[in-house]
Structure 1
Amino acid sequence: MAIFLVACAKEAALPIEANFDVEVVDKDYSVPVAVKINNQTEGADTFQWTFEGGEPAASTDKNPGTVRYSEKGEYKIRLVASNRDGIEEAVDYELVIDEAIVPNFEINVEGDDYAPVTITIENTTTGATTYNWTFDGGIPPKSDAHTPGKIVFQEPGDHIVTLEAGNGRETETITDTVTVASDVFADFDMEPAFEDDDFQAPVTLNLFNKSMNATGYEWTFETAEPTSSIATDPIITINEPGVHQIKLKAYNTKRSATKIKEVTVYENTNLRILEDVVMGISTAHNSNLKGALYSTITRQVYHASSVPMDDASTIDIAFFALNQEFNFNKFVTLDEVQDYTFEPMPNAKHTKFINLQESCECEASLSVAEFDALEDDGLLSEMIIEETMGGIQDFDDSVVPRIVLFETADGRKGAIKIKEFVADGINSHIMMDVKVQKQ
């Protein structure tokens, strides 16, 4: 009986099955790496974890949670499990941590960015062992070399360069763009100087370059001054009538394009023709509605508030109409406008007028038919414009059209044809054409 009881008092020691799972978060083995530990041990009461190279480096928790690694390398995870019976069992796990993949490269363009474009690539990627290059529109289109050779892009546009860098377990991707400029496009506009907008010789032309993707320009003007230019926007003068050719060659280091345009220059009639000029009555002028002052030089009508404050010497015609009935009208010299409800004008010049040819008692005369037929300054140049008491008198609207002769302070002779008297209250005005010598 005693022997039997002693034997029953001895209990069998419990075995231990030490085991655990390792889960790499997001399957990302490149530093920084987070590892979750799942303890599957059976038969143990205490646990001693060591995490070589990890943070934390050790733990006695049954489930130590997440361990982090910040350096690449091969590390051992060890679990020593034990119980109250003194049983102990250890298990190890080898963990390989990769260097972080940091893809990076620099594109170097050989020469300029005009087609065809050749590039080389400086690969500065770290942490990768494999390289998969794709060159959209390039020759070659792909490469698996660490540093690919020269790549050529022949078509204009944006071309994507893609690098997929890997280490055998994961990859990282980066892209960049190669922009190939379009072909050279040559074009230009030309605009005459203000005083040459009738294209009568001589004509000064401002050339406005509209070319694209060019680095230089060659202009050729065989019949102009100068005869050539390399400026972007040159100014030229054509002295002789005729059809003249302007040639532009736009180029870059690889290509060029040419544009040719023609311009017609006419004989110089020395006559400026100004049509449909509107000039207001006195109240329209002073109310800043319709001006009663005009410049044959600037070709601009001025009302009371738009007269230049410092120098009005370019204004050479002043029209005074007493009211909308047009029973008292006259063109007056600029240095006497203050006598006709106008403000005095600074630096005003004297223009001679013949308002009433029929009362002038002078040699100068011009009929409506002769005015309409004027195509050059032949008749005007022969006239002697005299101011007489009869000629400077006022007129009414009974004669339409009416021809008024004048001579500016700088000696240019001209004629005004009043085509219409328009009664419109405060907006009342006349409509007229002007033909005047250029110089």
Structure 2
Amino acid sequence: MLDIKWIRDNPDRLDAALAARGAESLAAEIVRLDEERRGHLKHLQDLQSRRNEASKEIGKAKASGDAARAEAVIAEVAAIKAAIQEGEETERRIDAAMTDRLARIPNVPLDEVPIGPDETANVEVRRVGTPRAFDFPVKEHFEIGEALGLMDFEQAGRIAGSRFAVLKGPLARLERALGQFMLDLHAGEHGYQEVVAPILVKDEAMFGTGNLPKFAEDAFHTTDGRWLIPTSEVPLTNLVRESTLDEADLPLRFTALTPCFRSEAGSAGRDTRGMLRQHQFYKVEMVSITSQETSLAEHERMTACAEEVLKRLGLPFRTIVLCTGDMGFGSRKTYDIEVWLPGQDTYREISSCSVCGDFQARRMGARYKVAGDKQARFVHTLNGSGVAVGRCLIAVLENYQNADGSVTVPEALRPYMGGLTTIAKAG
């Protein structure tokens, strides 16, 4: 959520930022609501002041024996009380309208973010690794998994419907190995604290990270009013909600391996084959809570941590900076890491690392104290995939496939696979 004072002082900058994102102009409406709210609050304050003065006048009138004056002022106080009650209801209505409008405004991109309408304007930052040259026809991951007898979409469909998969045997273990490998890397070498957090959360948690109200249709809602998390960014970032931290304790870094759930609203017909776009998938998430001065450096660090996963696995990838029209709702700048998928002969997103500034902190009420300063500041928050486990499984299957249909297990994963070096069809 943006600072209303900043919007009031910079309406043209807000509209320029929204235009760069391809969003409608909203500054005039927000400023109008703000003026209405401040004017109404001034009116309520004036009423309260008059009520206080009138209460004193009643005592004076009674003391002087002026019963008529006392009765008149008593009637005035009663009318003022009714007007204040009505005005407080109006205040709640204006506040609700203001909060709802502010909650739907995306974050302001950093000046360095490339301007463009969609993914065609994204800019490649670096490319790491050389795609393998195959001397046999390459297959996509679902062809490999099904041929091995270890990936079953028909069974999953009978159980849960489309966009689910059943993994079996060493392929199920390979997915588990990937998640454990990533957790060990981030917690053991990158300084993130491993967390087991709820995967069912309340409205306030989803609102805090910007998933509500705008993206309600993208998430699954339970019958008791909770939400299945679309990513563990939600519970991890909310670990600091409604709290005031000491600057000396920053940065805080959290990581978690969780199932994630997405309705994939609006993705009909996209990536319907295989595991690229699922309703349920595992992901290792990284979240950082920083001071305002260190968040940009932390963004570079976080992105490097995600890249290291792919380097250790020997998977070619490229890192791009997203343009204004392609970046997420709460982000000020986003790096996407795209892994090479030989079965598709293209790079596909496997991680997205974003710096959000104080956008989420304002929604959560998360602050920190600076030594010598009386007023607390809002923390800056960052989140990134470290990485999507299902998509990493896809990348391993396709990049390490062999002519006989088997899959070589990357060296980094072999300790997690009981020493297994190759996944082959049983029998």
* TM-score w.r.t. length of structure 2: 0.19
Higher helix share: 2
Higher strand share: 1
* TM-score w.r.t. length of structure 1: 0.19
* Larger RCO, structure (CA 8 Å, separation 6 or more): 2
